[in-house]
Amino acid sequence: METAPFGHKKLKVWQMARELVITIHRMTLTELPKFELYEEGSQIRRSMKSVKSNIVEGYGRRRYKAEYLRFLDFAYASVLETTDHLETLTDTGSLTNPALASSLHHDLTELSKALHAFIRSVEKQHNTDQA
């Protein structure tokens, strides 16, 4: 088991999630109408923060691979939820910056792919450990 504190910060998926937390937080404060600050803006901020938090919590339980995988699955589901909130913001016209919407959608897709690959890697390691 790793002895260095905060080893989760070395994970590429955590780093990607962190960047998106910051970008989405700023987007909700600067790009959305005021009424969305506490509506869809709040939802997208919370779902994106959930991605990062679940990666951290899973990492903290990595000794128990099933627990680790469970929290990584929660993180993956939260990426999908965040993408859905982003699409709602664009579909309703609340997010009117198409370049930003496209960039965020791209980054969420990349995080989704990276997280999926990471989950598969942990599963493979889990199956190897049990053999």
Every domain of the chain and the residues it spans:
9-130
In CATH terms, 9-130 corresponds, of 1.20.1440.60, 1.10.240.10, 3.60.15.10, 3.60.20.30, to 1.20.1440.60
Mean pLDDT, the chain, whole residue set:
93
Tell me what percent of the residues of the chain surpass a pLDDT of 70: 92
State the Cα–Cα distance between residues 50 and 104, nearest whole angstrom.
Answer: 17
pLDDT above 60 (res 131): no
Please state the rounded mean pLDDT for residues 119-129.
Answer: 83
92 three-state secondary structure: coil
pLDDT of residue 6: 75
Please, which residues have CB within 8 angstroms of residue 5's CB and are 6 or more apart in sequence? none
pLDDT of residue 126: 65
